[in-house]
Chains A and B, each alone.
Chain A
C-alpha cells in the first residue's frame, strides 16, 4: 500500500512540446506529493510539490494536476526544452514523514 506507480518508463518529446508523466497511489494517508528531477550522477532535486487539498499547482512551465478521488497525480512540462532531459520521480510522503518514490520516467527532449 506504500507503492507509488509511475508511467511511462521513458518519454521522448520534441522541443516545444508537452511532456506528461502520470502517477498513482493507494495509501490515502499520504499527505504531500513532490516531484523530483534527477540528472545523471546527481541527487534528486525538488521540482514542484502539491498537497492533496489542491487540484492544481503551477510553477513556470511545470504544472501538477491532482485528482484526489482517483488517487492520481501528474506532471505536465510545457514548452519542453532539451535542458529538461532528465529522470523524473514522483513521490508521496507518509504520515511518518518518509518519501515513497515512483519508478521514474526518463525524459528525452529532442531539439
Chain B
C-alpha cells in the first residue's frame, strides 16, 4: 500500500540553524500539507500546497518557514532560523483531492 515517507526520522539542531525536513508524498496525490505536534499536544496545521504554490497557511507558518516541491516527488519544509519552540514532531500529509489526508510517520525535531 502506498504511503507517505519522511526523512530524517529525528533531527537535532542548534538554535538559529536552518533545517530542512523532507517528505515523499503518495505518488498520485496533488495536495500536500505540513502539520506539527508539540509533545503531548494536538496536531496543528501549518501549511497546504497545491499546484506549486501555498494554498493556505496558519499563523504559525511565519516568514521563518518555507515549503518547496523541488522535483516531482519531494516536498520539503524549511525552517530558516530555528527557535527552541520549534521543537516538535512534524508530519507531512498528502491527499488526492478533497479526500482523505494520509500522514507520514513524522520527523522529530529537537532544537537545543
A→B interface (CB under 8 Å)? 32, 34, 36, 41-46, 49, 89, 91, 93, 96-104
* Chain B: interface residue total (CB-CB under 8 A): 23
Count of A-B residue pairs with CB < 8 Å: 54
| Given A43-B103, A43-B104, A100-B45 contact (CB < 8 Å) | yes
Which among B11-19, B68-76, B77-85, B94-102 touches the partner chain? B94-102
- Interface of chain B residues 13 through 34 with chain A (CB within 8 A): 31, 33
Contacts of A100 in B (CB 8 A): 45
Q: In chain B, what residue has the closest Cβ to A102?
A: B42
**Is B51 located at the chain interface by the 8 A CB criterion?**
no
B→A interface (CB under 8 Å)? 4, 31, 33, 35, 41-45, 48, 55-56, 58, 91, 95, 98, 100-106
Would you call B42 and A101 a contact (CB within 8 A)?
yes
Would you call A103 and B41 a contact (CB within 8 A)?
yes
Bound state CA distance, A34 and B91, in angstroms? 17
